[in-house]
Amino acid sequence: MVPSAPLDKTALAQPLEITQADLFEYVFSDPLLAWSFVLNIALAGLTILLIVYLGRNLTDPRAKLIAVSVMLISVVSISSYSGLTSGLTLSIIEMPAGHPAEGMTTAGEDGVLTMWGRYLTWTFSTPFILIALGMIAGSNMTKILTSVAFTIAMCVTGLAAALTTSSLVMRWWWFVISSLFFLVIVYIILVEWTAEAKQTGTIDLFNTLKILTVVSWFGYPILWALGVEGFALLDVAITSWGYSILDIISKYIVTVLIMMWLIKEPSEVTAGADYGSSLPGFSPADD
């Protein structure tokens, strides 16, 4: 008989790392949290189908480009929310010393649930929102790309704020940087693009879109500050629902409004069959 290896008490003391399956079960053990994800998957899917249906008769290439931009918002969302639902883009992290959620446990693990997959949604979807808004306003490529660059920077630094565990001060420093980038985007929308929309003749629609976008986007940093990542005044499920409602407003409702206006192919956004062509004689300056 071969003697058994001595029992490693140190190994027994090590907690098992939480798995995606554990996170998946945790999500669905809380119906409020689960539905904040599942509802967005359903709405993103329905929005994609609606865009395909409404845009089936579009002929102008510039109008089609706007339609594709708003479709990609929902394409990113359905993918990202599927990642959240499956546990793929969820983590449990311990908060730094001094954080209100320091010492909390989630699913038997030390730390709080961090929905870092939401930052993926925002990083890849908000640029398409801004592309559509910029084109409707009649803005130039420089301003549109500037807004896209700042929104990516905003989302990446927001992710850094959510994942920083070394220092409470650094968490809030990342938050401040992200907020400053956000204010640049707000300026472009409220000042630059509003003025251009007046000249383009799309100001009526643009005013509605900018109000929905800017007001809902201000809700994200407020929720971050009030939720478990900030002052921990709201629990994870309530915070998640807050983000989901803001996503519904800033993505799906805005998309439907744009498509309902776009299907008429108004002259303010149409550009003719040669728009975007690489044929000789076409110049981007013609935009």
- pTM for this model (two decimals): 0.87
Confidence of residue 17 (pLDDT cuts 50, 70, 90): confident
Whether the per-residue pLDDT at 235 is higher than 60: the answer is: yes
Mean pLDDT over 10-15 rounds to 41
Per-residue pLDDT of 54-108, as tens digits, reads 999 999 999 999 999 999 999 999 999 999 999 999 999 999 999 999 988 888 8
CB 80 within 8 A of CB 33: no
Per-residue pLDDT of 248-274, as tens digits, reads 999 999 999 999 999 999 988 887 655
Mean pLDDT over 234-256 rounds to 96
Whether the per-residue pLDDT at 1 is higher than 50: the answer is: no
Backbone angles phi, psi at 105, to 5 degrees: -125, 150
Q: What is the Cα–Cα distance from 48 to 158, expressed in whole angstroms?
A: 27
Mean pLDDT over 225-246 rounds to 95
Q: What is the Cα–Cα distance from 245 to 256, expressed in whole angstroms?
A: 16
- Residue 162 neighbours by CB distance under 10 Å: 24
Count of alpha carbons within 13 angstroms of residue 250, beta-carbon side: 23
Contacts of range 202-209, beta carbons closer than 8 Å, 24 or more positions apart: 202/136, 202/137, 202/138, 202/266, 202/268, 202/269, 205/136, 205/257, 205/258, 205/261, 206/133, 206/136, 206/137, 208/257, 209/133, 209/136, 209/254, 209/257, 209/258
Supply the mean pLDDT for the chain.
90
pLDDT recorded at residue 53: 97
pLDDT recorded at residue 275: 58
Taken in order 221, 227, 232, 233, the sign of the CA dihedral is positive
Q: What is the Cα–Cα distance from 114 to 92, expressed in whole angstroms?
A: 6
pLDDT recorded at residue 6: 52
Per-residue pLDDT of 138-157, as tens digits, reads 999 999 999 999 999 999 99
Whether the per-residue pLDDT at 233 is higher than 90: the answer is: yes
Q: 168: which 2 tokens?
A: 């409470």
Q: 244: which 2 tokens?
A: 């989901």
Confidence of residue 284 (pLDDT cuts 50, 70, 90): very low
Cβ neighbors of 277 (< 8 A, separation 6 or more) are: none
Name the least confident of 68-72, 107-111, 216-220. 107-111
- H or E element: which one contains 183? helix 168-187
CB 36 within 8 A of CB 113: no
Confidence of residue 119 (pLDDT cuts 50, 70, 90): very high
Residues of the chain with pLDDT > 70: what percent?
Answer: 89
- H or E element: which one contains 176? helix 168-187
pLDDT recorded at residue 283: 44
Assess if CATH 1.25.40.10 describes domain 20-267: no
Q: 159: which 2 tokens?
A: 């992710």
Mean pLDDT over 23-47 rounds to 96
Mean pLDDT over 97-120 rounds to 91
pLDDT recorded at residue 204: 95
194, exposed or middle or buried, with CB in 10 Å at 0-12, 13-18, 19+? middle
- What DSSP state is assigned to residue 285? G
Q: State CA 97 to chain mean position distance.
A: 29
